[in-house]
C-alpha cells in the first residue's frame, strides 16, 4: 500500500471533500509502514474498505418555526465501520455541517472508538441546522423531525448516536423522547441522556476530563508536573468547560476561553467562580464570551480571533477542526508552549502538527486525547444494558483507567528510535490494528 496513491484515488472518487481527504491522508501516512508488514491486508483490499464508509445516509428535514413558516435543512448519518461493535458517534447541529466534515469525523471516530478498547464501531451524523438563536420549541420541533427520519437507521445494537457541537442534553432529550414515541421502546438508543432517564454520571464531563488525564500522562513522560502551568483553552462549550474544571482540580491555571465571535484572556486565571459564570452564560443564558470580559474587566479580542497568540505553557484546542494552522503553531512554539492536547476533533492542520513534531514538543491528536467522551458513552451503554447506574467515582475511575490505557498504547506504537513519542502514529496504528484484525476475521 502506498498512502499517496490511495489518497489520490479517493480525491478523484470524492471531489470537494477536503476535510475527509485531510483526515484520511493523516492516518494513512502514519500506518503505511505497519500495514505493509501484513501482505494479507492488501490481498483483501483492507485499506479502501477502511477508508470508505459502509453507508452515507442523507435526508431532508422539514420543521416549523415559531412564525408558522416551514424550514428545510439537510440531515446526515455516516455509518463508517462496525467491525468491532455497533456504530457509535455523535450528532452535530451546526451551519458548517456537510458530508465531507461528517465523513472525516466518522473515519476518525472508528479509530478513536477502537482505542477505548470498548466494543464500538465508528459513525457520525448531524445537520446544517443551528440551535443558536432558536427557541426551545423550535429546537424541539427540529429534533422531532430529524429523529423521525434517523430512527429508521439506528438501534441499541445497530447504531447509538450521542451529542456533539450544538447537541447537548436538551437536544438529546428531545430526540430520545421522539424515538420512544415512534417505537414504543425505552432503550439506550442515545448516550448523553439526562440522569433521570438512563444517563451516566460523569458523561457531560468526560471529554474534558479525559483530555486532561491524557495531557497529564504525556507530561509525566518528561517528569513535568501540571500544577502551576498556564494553559490556553479554546472553545466555551462542554469540552472546554470541563477541561478547565479538571485543570483547576489538578492545580493548573487556564487563562483563555473563546467562542465563534472571539476570545477572552484572563491573566489571573479562570477560577471556580469564573468557570461557574461561564457555565451559566453558555449553558443557560446562551450568551457570548464577550460578556465575561465585560463582567471581569479582562482582555477581549473579537472578529473571530483565536487565543493562540497569548503566552502560556500548554495549549488545548477544544473548539472545532483546523483552528490551529501553521502560523498559529509557530507562534505557540515561539511563546514556549511545551504540550498540545486536542480536546476537539482535528483542530490542528497538517502544517501545525508538523511544526509541533519537528520541535519535539508533546502533541496528541484528538482521536486519543478526546476519546474520554465516547469512552464514557460506551460506559453509559453498558449501564443501560445492565439496567444499573454506577456511582460518579466508579465511572470516573473507569474513565481514568481507559485514558491511561490509551496513553500506554500510544507509547507502545509511537515511540521512535530517538525516544520521542509520536502520539499521532501511536494512536493511528493502535486503533487501526484492532479494526483491521476484526475485519480480516469476519471475511468479505
Residues at the binding site for substrate are 88, 109, 112, 163, 377
Point out the annotated binding site for NAD(+).
Answer: 207, 238
- Angstrom distance (rounded) from CA 240 to CA 257: 8
User: Which H or E run contains 183?
Assistant: helix 169-183
Please count the CA atoms within 13 angstroms of the CA of 120 that sit on its side-chain side.
35
Alpha helices (runs of H) in 284-422, residue ranges in sequence order: 290-296, 326-334, 350-358, 366-369, 372-386, 392-414
Q: How many separate helices (H) and strands (E) can be counted in the chain?
A: 17, 13
CB neighbours of 403 closer than 8 A, spacing ≥ 6?
Answer: 210, 213, 214, 217, 371, 372, 375
All cell numbers assigned to 357: 513534531
- Angstrom distance (rounded) from CA 315 to CA 263: 14
Q: Which residues pair with 364 in a beta bridge?
A: 341
From 103, 124, 229, 246, the catalytic residue:
124
Point out the annotated binding site.
Answer: 88, 109, 112, 163, 207, 238, 377
All cell numbers assigned to 24: 484520511
Judge whether 124 counts as a catalytic residue.
yes
- Residue in this structure with the C-alpha cell 507502545, named with its chain if needed: 412
Please count the CA atoms within 13 angstroms of the CA of 85 that sit on its side-chain side.
23
- Ramachandran angles phi, psi of 102, nearest 5°: -70, -30
> DSSP readout, 47-108?
HHHHHS-SEEEEEEEEEE-TTS-EEEEEEEEEEEE-SSSSEEEEEEE-TT--HHHHHHHHHH
The CA-CA-CA angle for residues 393, 367, 34, to 5°, reads: 125
- Left if phi > 0, otherwise alpha if psi is -120 to 50, otherwise beta: which for 278? alpha
- Residue in this structure with the C-alpha cell 496513553, named with its chain if needed: 407
CB neighbours of 401 closer than 8 A, spacing ≥ 6?
Answer: none
Q: What is the largest CA-CA distance in the chain?
A: 65
- Angstrom distance (rounded) from CA 51 to CA 78: 12
Alpha-carbon radius of gyration of the chain:
21
- Angstrom distance (rounded) from CA 226 to CA 339: 11
Are 356 and 363 within 8 A, CB to CB?
yes
Instruction: Indicate which residues carry an active-site annotation.
Output: 124
Amino acid at each position: 500500500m502506498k498512502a499517496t496513491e490511495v489518497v489520490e484515488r479517493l480525491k478523484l472518487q470524492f471531489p470537494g471533500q477536503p476535510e475527509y481527504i485531510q483526515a484520511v491522508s493523516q492516518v494513512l501516512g502514519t500506518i503505511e509502514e505497519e500495514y505493509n508488514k501484513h501482505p494479507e491486508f492488501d490481498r483483501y483490499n483492507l485499506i479502501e474498505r477502511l477508508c470508505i464508509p459502509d453507508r452515507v445516509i442523507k435526508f431532508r428535514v422539514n420543521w416549523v418555526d415559531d412564525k408558522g413558516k416551514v424550514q428545510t435543512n439537510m440531515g446526515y448519518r455516516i455509518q463508517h465501520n462496525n467491525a468491532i461493535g455497533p456504530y457509535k458517534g455523535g450528532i452535530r447541529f451546526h451551519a458548517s455541517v456537510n458530508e465531507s466534515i461528517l465523513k472525516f469525523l466518522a473515519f476518525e471516530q472508528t479509530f478513536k472508538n477502537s482505542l477505548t478498547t470498548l466494543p464500538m464501531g465508528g459513525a457520525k451524523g448531524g445537520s446544517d441546522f443551528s440551535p443558536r438563536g432558536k427557541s426551545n420549541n423550535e429546537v424541539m420541533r427540529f429534533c422531532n423531525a430529524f429523529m423521525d427520519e434517523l430512527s429508521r437507521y439506528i438501534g441499541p445494537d445497530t447504531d447509538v448516536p450521542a451529542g456533539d457541537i450544538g447537541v447537548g442534553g436538551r437536544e438529546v432529550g428531545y430526540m430520545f423522547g421522539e424515538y420512544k414515541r415512534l417505537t414504543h421502546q425505552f432503550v439506550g438508543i442515545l448516550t448523553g441522556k439526562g440522569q433521570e432517564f438512563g444517563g451516566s454520571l460523569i458523561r457531560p464531563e468526560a471529554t474534558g476530563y479525559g483530555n486532561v488525564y491524557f495531557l497529564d500522562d504525556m507530561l509525566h513522560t518528561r517528569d513535568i508536573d501540571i500544577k502551576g502551568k498556564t494553559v490556553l483553552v479554546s472553545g466555551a462549550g462542554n469540552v472546554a468547560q470541563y477541561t478547565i474544571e479538571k485543570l483547576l482540580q489538578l492545580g493548573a491555571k487556564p487563562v483563555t476561553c473563546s467562542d465563534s465571535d472571539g476570545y477572552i484572556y484572563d491573566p489571573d486565571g479562570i477560577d471556580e467562580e469564573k468557570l461557574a459564570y461561564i457555565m451559566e452564560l453558555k449553558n443557560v443564558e446562551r450568551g457570548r464570551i464577550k460578556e465575561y470580559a465585560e463582567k471581569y474587566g479582562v482582555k477581549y479580542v473579537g472578529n473571530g480571533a483565536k487565543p493562540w497568540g497569548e503566552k502560556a505553557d500548554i495549549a488545548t484546542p477544544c473548539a472545532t477542526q483546523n483552528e490551529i494552522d501553521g502560523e498559529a503553531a509557530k507562534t505557540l512554539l515561539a511563546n514556549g508552549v511545551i504540550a498540545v492536547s486536542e480536546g476537539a476533533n482535528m483542530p490542528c492542520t497538517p502544517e501545525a502538527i508538523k511544526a509541533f513534531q519537528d520541535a519535539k514538543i508533546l502533541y496528541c491528536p484528538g482521536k486519543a486525547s478526546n476519546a474520554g467522551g465516547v469512552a464514557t458513552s460506551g460506559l453509559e451503554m453498558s449501564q443501560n444494558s445492565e439496567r444499573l447506574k454506577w456511582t460518579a467515582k466508579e465511572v470516573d475511575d473507569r474513565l481514568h483507567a481507559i485514558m491511561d490505557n490509551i496513553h500506554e498504547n500510544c507509547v507502545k506504537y509511537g515511540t521512535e528510535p530517538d525516544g520521542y513519542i509520536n502520539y499521532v502514529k501511536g494512536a493511528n496504528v493502535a486503533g487501526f490494528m484492532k479494526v483491521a484484525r476484526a475485519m480480516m476475521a469476519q471475511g468479505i
